[in-house]
Every structure is written in C-alpha cells, then in structure tokens.
C-alpha cells in the first residue's frame, strides 16, 4: 500500500470527477493521501480540509489528511486575518501539517523579502500548533539561491521545535538533501524524478536513506514519465514509486511499505488497514 504525500485534491481540474479519481487511487493501492491546503490563495486554504470531511468514511476510498498554508507567491496576502485562519485550520485534527510554505525564486511573483517574512510568521504559527511543515523550495533556474536563504531561516526559527518537516517535490542537490536530513526532514520525490533529464536528481534520490524518503504526485501537476504533460492524479504515484524502488534496488512492494511506514511514523498516524 502506498501513500501519496502531496496532492492538490482541491484543484478545479478534479471538479468533474473527484470521487472517481479517488476511487482510481484506492484501486491502484493508494491507502492515504495528504491533500494540500493552499488553494489559489488564503481564501481557499480550507478547501483541503473540506475535501477530507466530504470523503473520509466512504467505502473504497483512500484515507485523506489535509494541510493548510500560504504558498510563497501568496505571502503578500498573509495579513492578520489570513494568519488567524491558518492558525484555526491547524487546530483541526485532520490538518496534520502546515504547507506548502517556503521560498520560490523560480517563478515571477512575490518579492523575496515578503516570502521570507511570510514563511517566518507561518513557522511561528505551526510551532505553536505543533504541526510539522511542508517546504516548497525552488531557486532561480539551476541556482540554489533559494536554498541558501531557506536553511538559515529553518535553523533559526524551526530546528529548535524538533517538529521536522517534509521537503516536498525535492529538486536540490546532495548538499541540500544532506542539510534537510540533518534538520530531521523527510525528503519527498515527485514525478519529475522519472523524467529523462533528471539523472542528477535520481542520483540524489538513490542516496536518501530508505527510512527518510517519501513519494508524492504533486497532482494535478508533474505526471510521471509515461503520462508527462497529462493531468496527474494520486493513482499515478505508483509509477514514481517504482522508479524510486529501482534506484534503491528493492521490490516496489518493499519501497511502498517503507514509505508508508515513514509517513505514518512521522505524523504519528494509525496504521492503514486494508480498505
């Protein structure tokens, strides 16, 4: 059984077939999905939790968990009301993480200082609510500039909490991976690790210890290799997991068991029973 550790189930791209998409995930062996609550901005931060509440308990569906957070490019909207909403969402039992939050210098968007300030305020709220964080970090083109800004913030404002986090859709090099592991983070890989030009990323994934690695779709984006460019969905996490299992030289079942254990252990969640 697999866990998709990062999917945007509230995307309008699932507006016509959300339940069927979740059934396909269940039938593909996906036991749980972490639904990311960033929406198109803070006004939609609650949508992932709403989806959990709508679908959990129905037969033949994966178990759903939610996050809430303000995406780096939405940090100019991180006013007191938005941060109060984040705080209230993180108090809900289904909302197990704060994210995705972090720094994005790749796309044109919020100024770097606004991103940094918004990140720090969210770290303070997540710490008070004792929720681990989901980090999005992407530098300018091939540069590690965003990582160089990220790590000092995490050292100063997060490391001491001992709560750790997940580096989502990891795209850094080995130095960034090692520093993430040193901070107590898990490292999660998405469909882009399957792309032909991603050999450097595959080399990093090969070196992540099996008890610190996760797999995700980042659906509806980043469909793995055979489906690249299509709408992604949690059922396709199996293809990325198979590539990662191959890198670790183990059977897909063994990789699935390890990553599922990592997810459940990290968030202190009950075991997934055959559903």
> Which residue's CB is nearer to Zn ion, number 100 or number 149?
100
186 and 262 Cβ atoms separated by less than 8 Å: yes
CB of 254 to Zn ion, least distance (A): 27
> Which residue's CB is nearer to Zn ion, number 195 or number 246?
195
**Which residue's beta carbon is nearest to the bound Zn ion?**
218
Contacts with Zn ion by CB under 5 A lie at 218
> Which residue's CB is nearer to Zn ion, number 2 or number 166?
166
CB of 270 to Zn ion, least distance (A): 25
CB of 100 to Zn ion, least distance (A): 5
> Which residue's CB is nearer to Zn ion, number 104 or number 218?
218
CB of 221 to Zn ion, least distance (A): 7
CB of 134 to Zn ion, least distance (A): 8
> Which residue's CB is nearer to Zn ion, number 10 or number 218?
218
């Amino acid at each position: 059984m697999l866990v998709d550790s990062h999917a945007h189930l509230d995307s309008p791209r699932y507006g016509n077939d959300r339940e069927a998409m979740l059934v396909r995930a269940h039938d593909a062996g996906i036991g749980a999905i972490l639904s990311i609550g960033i929406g198109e901005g803070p006004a939609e931060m609650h949508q992932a939790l709403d989806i959990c509440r709508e679908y959990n308990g129905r037969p033949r569906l994966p178990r759903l968990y939610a996050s809430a957070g303000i995406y780096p490019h939405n940090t100019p909207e991180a006013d007191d009301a938005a941060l109060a909403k984040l705080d209230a969402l993180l108090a809900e039992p289904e909302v197990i993480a704060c994210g995705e939050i972090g720094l994005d210098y790749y796309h044109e968007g919020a100024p770097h200082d606004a991103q940094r300030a918004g990140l720090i305020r969210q770290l303070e709220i997540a710490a008070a609510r004792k929720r681990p964080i989901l980090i999005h970090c992407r530098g300018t083109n091939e540069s590690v500039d965003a990582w160089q800004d990220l790590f000092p913030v995490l050292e100063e404002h997060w490391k001491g909490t001992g709560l750790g986090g997940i580096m989502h859709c990891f795209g850094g090099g080995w130095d960034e991976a090692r520093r993430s592991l040193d901070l107590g983070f898990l490292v999660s890989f998405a469909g882009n690790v399957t792309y032909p030009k991603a050999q450097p990323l595959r080399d990093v994934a090969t070196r992540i210890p099996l008890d610190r690695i996760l797999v995700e779709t980042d659906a509806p984006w980043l469909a793995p290799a055979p489906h690249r460019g299509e709408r992604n969905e949690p059922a396709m996490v199996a293809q990325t997991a198979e590539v990662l299992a191959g890198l670790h030289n183990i059977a897909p079942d063994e990789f699935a068991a390890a990553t599922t254990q990592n997810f459940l252990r990290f968030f202190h969640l009950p075991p997934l029973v055959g559903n």
